[in-house]
Each structure stands twice: as structure tokens, then as C-alpha cells.
């Protein structure tokens, strides 16, 4: 296919044969339960930019220059919101995505299966290991990259749609009291509640699972969770999800092979029906004719130009990560939406190398893990079955005290081919401790530091609730005690010290941050996706009203 005048290798991941790891079923189940944090990815490749520059000097890699009005780096929630709203306002937008597209449909094989992972699972510039043992995946522009830090591993997504491709999908809005505990009150919760959270919910088609589905055999773990939560006297809620649940019902009827109803959806839903960013915000943005998405485009540098514009350096790669073209793109405005880890890394690199001088001192600060905790729950009382319906049906929100607010949900494990009487419990909530990202000259990248006790104010309460819900005839394993990790990194370029509430970087006209890096470490006992999107919706309204035609 072609994009922006050049040829791109076939991107559809389902056309490529999977490469099996050869791991035992039990080992894979354990790794899946650890939430992929048990798959530490250790880079052993020199920086791609340096290799590509050397190759270009030899004449092997072409260099292209282009001019654009607005460049958005990243296609997750922040990037998707930005692209759609700017395009609807008549502003041409180029979205750069380092990953590929992952088209789904009934009975597709686009996404890898968690119980038999292959190269599609992992981002290419890494050596994949499970519990320290190498697995022989070929390099590939896969779904997940991990960033190893001190006391914490952050898991990042790649692909059109960003983290929405692989997230469970809890579409939760915090209460006003909890929101104001972790986010600036100047964001005005009443407006967020009446305008921006509902706008996101409509775009994502958030809906709770129907009782008919929950009462089917494979959703027994959800029913057991609900029973135990209520028996413990905790509140119980159905969790809104960005899912057309009729797809799961059609699986029950045998119209499609199983994907939701056997929990085979932790690395993407092959049957479709999940309203991820690529099929909502990005699809509608492209339909305007003013937004285009360039996949397999990895940004290596962002710099100011002498005339006050912005220069973005890009490596276009093939699916194996080899650089096939370099680009220098110039724009009036750049929106950083590459996700917390990569947005912060790019800005730290630009600051250290003098490419964006005088960035705010707060860059890299207010980093948080959103209070994430993942447990496995093995029950002697209840047989959860070899297949568990997913992804999430119920949760328990304990939000009365905003300082200790937390949520516990039950999530299915992937089909293991055997009954291991085990499911998953996940908690997250309000934390006060914060980490930091700093520039690392050796790698020309960034290092993450997370204090070991940063979330000690929250985790005892989550642990108490998890053990109470599991009950006495159970074994509960805290996987974060084995491999500290988060799927929900936040902060690094936070509102306040680095940006204003609308994502404008202080003192840098035309430079914006509209993703998780803008959020100071926590989203108030909710997983971050809905708040990131709602904050971006609020910000882009103001950017369109105040900056379009003036700044860009």
C-alpha cells in the first residue's frame, strides 16, 4: 500500500505466521497473570537513529523532507482526540505512529494469543525473555514494549490506537472528590462531568455486560467475584467497557470462534467489537480527509527551528525494525502524544541535546503508576474453569474517602488448556508518592526511578480487600511483589510545572503535550484512559478556540 507518496510493506499482522516461544503452558499462564511484566525486554541494539544515520551517509537510506501544519506524535487516546478535533476544525494533521495497524473482524487472527505468544506481542528493539530465559521471537513491530526502571517496569503499547488495543477497557470516571484530590481543581469537575467525560463515553460506546452473558458458564469467575464482594459488604458495580457486547453473545451462539467468552482478549480482540481508538477517533479523523496516519514512523528527535517552527526527525522502518527511510518534517505545531514514557523520553532527549532549549525544570517529574497492583487468585472453593469470559464485568469501587480511594476488579486469564482454578484480581487507586524520569546520556534515552515505598499508603488497603474478596479457601499471589510493574504510567510532563491545563508547554509556543505524560501521576481510583481522553477533549477545545490561526 502507499502512504504519503511512498511504499509501505504489508502491515497486516494476521498475514504473518506466528512464531511460538516453546514455553510450557504453565509458564505462559504465569507470565500472562503477571500482566506481561514478567517479560522483561532488554535492549541489546545500538540506537536506531545512529545506525540509520550511518547508513544514510553511505547512500543506502534516502532522506525526505516534508512540511506540515500540525504533527501529532502518537495515535493513542491523546493523539486520536487531537487528530479528530483538529481535522473537524479544518486543520490538516499528520499523525506519526511507530507501530502498525491491527485490523480485526470476525474470526480474524490479527492479534497474538496470550497462551501461545509470538513475535507480534513484542516491540522489536529488545531481546524477549520470560523469567530470564530467552524466547526466540524474530524482531517485529509488536504490540508491547517494556521500559525497565529502578523498582518499576512500565509497559507501553505500539500500534495505531496505542494502549486502547491491549487495555482491558474499564471506562471509569472518578467522583468529584477523588478527581479534585489528584488533579487541579481548575480543570472544573462540573464541566468535565457534564461535557467531556460524556463525550468520551459516547465516542467509545461504553456499555456494561448484559446479564444473559454474565449468567453463561464461562463467566462464573465474574459471578463468584460479585458474590464474594457483596458478602464482604463492599460496593459492587458493573464496569462500563468500550465493547459491543453483542459480539460476545454471538460467540455464545457459535457464530464466531471464541475471543471474549474464553478470555482470549488480553492482547487484542480478534473478533472486533472493541471500540478502540483506531476504529473510533482515528477512523473518524481519517474520514474527514484532513487527517492522515503514517505508520511505522518512529520519531527520534524534536527540535525548534530558527524561524520558530518545529522540526521532527523520523525513522521509517519495516516490520522488523530496519530503517528504510529517514524524514525531516517541519510543522507550525507539534503535539506530543506518544504515551507517558516516550513523550517524556523525547522531551528529555531534546532538552539534553539543546534541540529544545530552556524546557521547564519540572520535566520528568510527577511520574506515577496509578496505584496498579495485579494478583492471581486460586480458589479451592470455586472451580473457575479452564475458560473464563472476559475481559471485565464487575468491580468494587471504594471511593468514600478520596485519600484512600481504590478500585478492585476481576479479570479473566487467557485459556490455558487446563483448569488451574485461577483468575485475576486487579487493584488501583489514589497514591501520593511519585517517581521521576531523567535523561541518560549513555543511551541517549531516559531512566525511570520509582521509590520502593511510593505507594505504601495505598497498597495495604488494596491487599486487605483482595484477600477478603478471595476468602479463606484461596491462595492469593501479589505479582507486583515478584515483578513491580504498571500498565498505566502517568506524568513526566505534568500540567502545572511543565504545561498549562491545556497541554501547552510553558514558554514553547506551538509545542503541546496531550497524553498520559500531562497527568500528574494518578487518575483517582480509575484506570487512566477515560480521564486522559477527557482532559485531551477539554484541552483541544481551547486550543482550537485560542491557538488555531494564531499559533498555527
For the chain, give the mean pLDDT.
90
Q: What is the pLDDT of residues 283-302, one digit of tens each?
A: 999 999 999 999 999 999 99
DSSP letter for each residue of 192-218: IIIIIHHHHHHHHT-BPPPHHHHTSGG
Whether pLDDT at 253 is above 60: yes
User: Among all chains, which residue has been given the C-alpha cell 488501583?
Assistant: 428
Residues β-bridged to residue 486? 154
- What is each CA distance from 270 to 55, 104, 167, 275, 351, in whole angstroms? 38, 5, 14, 12, 41
Query: Does residue 495 have a pLDDT over 50?
Result: yes
Give the DSSP H or E segment for 464: helix 459-470
Residue 98 has pLDDT above 70, yes or no: yes
Q: What is the mean pLDDT of residues 357-379?
A: 97
Q: What is the mean pLDDT of residues 309-327?
A: 97
Contacts of the segment 230-233: beta carbons below 8 A, 24+ positions apart: 232/465, 232/468, 232/469
Q: What is the pLDDT of residue 57?
A: 53
Q: What is the pLDDT of residues 484-494, one digit of tens each?
A: 999 999 999 99
Is 60 exceeded by the pLDDT of residue 93?
A: yes
Q: Decide if 213 contacts 262 (C-beta within 8 A).
A: no
Q: Which residues contact residue 464 at a Cβ distance below 8 angstroms, ignoring those fewer than 6 apart?
A: none
* Predicted pLDDT at 204: 98
The pLDDT of residue 163 is 97
Q: 189-229 pLDDT, tens per residue?
A: 999 999 999 999 999 999 999 999 999 999 999 999 999 99
91 sits in the region (left: phi over 0; alpha: psi -120 to 50; else beta) called: beta
pLDDT at position 410 over 70: yes
At residue 95, the pLDDT reads 99
Per the structure block, which three cell numbers stand in for 381?
472453593
Among 304-313, 414-423, 511-520, where is mean pLDDT lowest? 414-423
Q: Give residue 115's pLDDT.
A: 87
Lowest mean pLDDT among 52-61, 204-213, 406-415: 52-61
pLDDT of res. 169: 96
Query: What is the mean pLDDT of the segment spanning 140-162?
Result: 94
Q: How far is CA 330 from the centre of its chain?
A: 27
What is the per-residue pLDDT for 326?
98
The pLDDT value recorded for residue 1 is 33
In 3D, which of 272, 333, 237 has the Cα closest to residue 547?
333
Compute the distance between CA of residue 404 and CA of residue 419 in angstroms, rounded to an integer.
36
| pLDDT value for 417 | 72
Percent of the chain surpassing pLDDT 70: 87
Sequence-ordered strand ranges (E) for 250-305: 291-294, 297-304
Structural domains of the chain in order of their starting residue, each with its CATH number? 33-546 (3.50.50.60)
How would DSSP label each residue in 128-165? EEETTEE--PPP---SEEEEEEBTEEEEEE-STTGGGG
At residue 37, the pLDDT reads: 37
Cell of 342: 516516550
State the pLDDT at residue 58. Answer: 54
Name 341's Cβ contacts closer than 8 Å, sequence gap at least 6. Answer: 147, 154, 156, 437, 446, 448, 489, 492
Considering 29-33, 299-303, 479-483, the range whose residues carry the highest mean pLDDT is 299-303
Q: Quick one: pLDDT at residue 4? A: 32
Whether residue 522 is predicted with pLDDT greater than 50 in this model: the reply is: yes
Band (282; pLDDT cuts 50, 70, 90): very high
Q: Which of 418, 505, 413, 490 is nearest to 454 (CA)?
A: 490
- If pLDDT is split at 50, 70 and 90, which confidence band does 365 have? very high
- The residue that leads in pLDDT, 318 or 44, is 318
Where is average pLDDT lowest: 230-234, 419-423, 537-541?
A: 419-423
Inform me whether the pLDDT recorded for 349 exceeds 90: yes
Bridge partners of 144?
122, 157
- Least confident among 54-63, 361-370, 479-488: 54-63
Q: Residue 34 pLDDT > 50, yes or no?
A: no
Percentage above 90 pLDDT, the chain = 83
Using 50, 70 and 90 to split pLDDT, how confident is the model at 128? low
What's the 3-state SS for 116-133? ECCHHHECCCCEEEECCE
Plot region of 333 (φ>0 → left; ψ -120 to 50 → alpha; else → beta): beta
Looking at residue 451, its pLDDT comes to 97
Compute the Cα dihedral for 109, 114, 115, 121 and give only its sign. Answer: positive
**Given this model, what pLDDT does residue 415 score?**
85
Amino acid at each position: 500500500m502507499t502512504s504519503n507518496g511512498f511504499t509501505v510493506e504489508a502491515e497486516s499482522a494476521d498475514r504473518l505466521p506466528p512464531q511460538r516461544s516453546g514455553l510450557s503452558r504453565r509458564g505462559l499462564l504465569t507470565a500472562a497473570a503477571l500482566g506481561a511484566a514478567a517479560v522483561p525486554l532488554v535492549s541489546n541494539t545500538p540506537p536506531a537513529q545512529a545506525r540509520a544515520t550511518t547508513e544514510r551517509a553511505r547512500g543506502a537510506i534516502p532522506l525526505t523532507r516534508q512540511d506540515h501544519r500540525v504533527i501529532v506524535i502518537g495515535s493513542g487516546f491523546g493523539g486520536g482526540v487531537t487528530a479528530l478535533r483538529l481535522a473537524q476544525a479544518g486543520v490538516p494533521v499528520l499523525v506519526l505512529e511507530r507501530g502498525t495497524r491491527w485490523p480485526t473482524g470476525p474470526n480474524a487472527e490479527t492479534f497474538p494469543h496470550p497462551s501461545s505468544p509470538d513475535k507480534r506481542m513484542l516491540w522489536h528493539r529488545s531481546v524477549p525473555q520470560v523469567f530470564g530465559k530467552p524466547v526466540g521471537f524474530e524482531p517485529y513491530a509488536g504490540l508491547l514494549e517494556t521500559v525497565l526502571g529502578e523498582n518499576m517496569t512500565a509497559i507501553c503499547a505500539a500500534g495505531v490506537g496505542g494502549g486502547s488495543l491491549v487495555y482491558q477497557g474499564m471506562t471509569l470516571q472518578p467522583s468529584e472528590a477523588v478527581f479534585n484530590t489528584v488533579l487541579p481543581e481548575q480543570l472544573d469537575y462540573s464541566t468535565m462531568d457534564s461535557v467531556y467525560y460524556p463525550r468520551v463515553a459516547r465516542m467509545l460506546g461504553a456499555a456494561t455486560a448484559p446479564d444473559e452473558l454474565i449468567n453463561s458458564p464461562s463467566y462464573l469467575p465474574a459471578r463468584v467475584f460479585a458474590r464474594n464482594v457483596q458478602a464482604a459488604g463492599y460496593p459492587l458495580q458493573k464496569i462500563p467497557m468500550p465493547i459491543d457486547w453483542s459480539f460476545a453473545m454471538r460467540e455464545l451462539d457459535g457464530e464466531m470462534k471464541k475471543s471474549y467468552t474464553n478470555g482470549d482478549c488480553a492482547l487484542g480482540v480478534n473478533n472486533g467489537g472493541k471500540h478502540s481508538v483506531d476504529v473510533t477517533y482515528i477512523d473518524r479523523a481519517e474520514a474527514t480527509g484532513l487527517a492522515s496516519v503514517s505508520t511505522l514512523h518512529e520519531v527520534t528527535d524534536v527540535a525548534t527551528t530558527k524561524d520558530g517552527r518545529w522540526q521532527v526527525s523520523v525513522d521509517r522502518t519495516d516490520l522488523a525494525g530496519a530503517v528504510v527511510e529517514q524524514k525531516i518534517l517541519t510543522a507550525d505545531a507539534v503535539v506530543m502524544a506518544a504515551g507517558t514514557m516516550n513523550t517524556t523520553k523525547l522531551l528529555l532527549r531534546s532538552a539534553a541535546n539543546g534541540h529544545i532549549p530552556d524546557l521547564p525544570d519540572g520535566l520528568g517529574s510527577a511520574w506515577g503508576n496509578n496505584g496498579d497492583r495485579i494478583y492471581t487468585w486460586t480458589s479451592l472453593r470455586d472451580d473457575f474453569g479452564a475458560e473464563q469470559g472476559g475481559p471485565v464485568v464487575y468491580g468494587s469501587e471504594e471511593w468514600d474517602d478520596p485519600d484512600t480511594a481504590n478500585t478492585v476488579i476481576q479479570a479473566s486469564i487467557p485459556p490455558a488448556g487446563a483448569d488451574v482454578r485461577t483468575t485475576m484480581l486487579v487493584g488501583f487507586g489514589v497514591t501520593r508518592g511519585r517517581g521521576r524520569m531523567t535523561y541518560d546520556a549513555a543511551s541517549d534515552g531516559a531512566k525511570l526511578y520509582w521509590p520502593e515505598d511510593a505507594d505504601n499508603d495505598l497498597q495495604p488497603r488494596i491487599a486487605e480487600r483482595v484477600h477478603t474478596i478471595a476468602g479463606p479457601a484461596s491462595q492469593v499471589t501479589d505479582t507486583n511483589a515478584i515483578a513491580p510493574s504498571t500498565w498505566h504510567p502517568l506524568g513526566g510532563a505534568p500540567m502545572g510545572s511543565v504545561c498549562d491545563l491545556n497541554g501547552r508547554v510553558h514558554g514553547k509556543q506551538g509545542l503541546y503535550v496531550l497524553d498520559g505524560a500531562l497527568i500528574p501521576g494518578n487518575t483517582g481510583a480509575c484506570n487512566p484512559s477515560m480521564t486522559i481522553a477527557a482532559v485531551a477533549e477539554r484541552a483541544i477545545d481551547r486550543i482550537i478556540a485560542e491557538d488555531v490561526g494564531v499559533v498555527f
